[in-house]
Amino acid sequence: MTKESTYTAKLPGPNGLYDYTPEEDAIWGELYERQMKLLANMACREYLDGVKTLGLRPDKVPQLLDVNRRLSETTGFGVEGVPALIPPSQFYELLSQRKFPLATFLRRREHIDYIEEPDLFHEVFGHCPLLTNQSYANFVRRFGETAVHLGKGYSWHLFRIFWFTVEFGLINTPEGRRSYGAGIVSSPSEAKAAMKGTECEFRPFDLMSVLRTPYRIDIVQPIYYVIDSFADLEAIIEQDIEGAILKAKSLGDFAPTFEAKAS
């Protein structure tokens, strides 16, 4: 959650359940229906299978307890509701423990099309379905472990791997290029832009290139990196990440393909 956020964290009751209002259920439902229509031919099969495995439905905001149970039954992963912005060290620590940290508030209607900070829809609908895929779940855990091991000095570059995979990754499939990144599958504008492909560039995933690519969080992405399989994704994080980051630092960043953010 950003410092300027007008949202407050939602806390669970003593039974571990979160209380969502009928309006929040309706907003979840609208977002769910709209994205599922868009994603039928845009998202990869593993993601769409994951939506079913988690039992996500349009009529109700899902409870984290249910998501947690279904995930742990499939890949041993879990989720943890976090009250607000958490420091990167805690974020990485949780991933290394096979727990995906989730913001638990849901966007209001005025932000139904776009919200900069991650809300529950982005977190659960965007991130959780693929955590039912073992290779993907292994990648996320190993990413967390690597980040914890390498520490702060590597965090900036390391997060680029996360950004261009978990958040904005695409994958080649027999049916064509499909989305798997949470920032794409949970956002109508990003999903449409990524599939239209006229104002962005698709590059084959290459660790060194990813480590040298700057990004902005508040624009439709101008560059996407495309993997060939989730087994490949799992292998990426087993490379010498420390050595690769040191090399990327010495080579320097690619020139940004976007305008600097006005302050």
The region of 85-93, 149-157, 180-188, 227-235 touching Fe ion under the rule CB under 5 A is: 180-188
Least CB distance from residue 139 to Fe ion, whole Å? 15
Nearer residue to Fe ion within complex by CB, 111 or 247: 111
Q: d(Cα 94, Cα 46) in Å, to the nearest integer?
A: 23
- Region binding Fe ion by CB under 5 A among candidate stretches 71-79, 108-116, 177-185, 224-232: 177-185
DSSP 217-249: TTS--SEEEEES-HHHHHHHTTS-HHHHHHHHH
- Which token pair is 260? 């600097």
Burial 48-65 (b: 16+ CB within 10 A, else e): bebbebbebeeeebbbbe
Please identify, using beta-carbon distances, which residue of 50 and 118 lies nearer to Fe ion.
Answer: 118
| Closer residue to Fe ion (CB): 46 or 123 | 123
Using CB under 5 A as the binding rule, the residues of this chain from 80 to 119 that contact Fe ion are 118
Could you tell me the smallest distance in angstroms from the CB atom of residue 7 to Fe ion? 15
Catalytic residue among 96, 179, 186, 187: 186
- Nearest alpha-carbon partner for 128 in 48, 183, 50: 50
Q: What does the alpha-carbon distance between residue 192 and residue 102 come to, in Å, rounded to a whole number? A: 25
Q: Residue 3, Cα to own-chain centre: how many angstroms?
A: 21
Q: How far is the CB of 100 from Fe ion (least distance, A)?
A: 9
Give catalytic status of residue 186 as yes or no: yes
Q: Is 127 a catalytic residue?
A: yes
Total residues found in the chain within this entry: 263
Is residue 140 near Fe ion by the rule CB under 5 A?
A: no
User: Based on CB atoms, which residue is closest to Fe ion, 118 or 144?
Assistant: 118
Least Å distance, CB 183 to Fe ion, is 6
Verify binding: residue 182, Fe ion, rule CB under 5 A: yes
Contact present, 210 and 224 (Cβ < 8 Å): no
β-bridge pairing 176-179 and 170-173: antiparallel
Residue ranges binding Fe ion (CB under 5 A): 118, 182
Q: Which residues are catalytic?
A: 122, 127, 167, 186
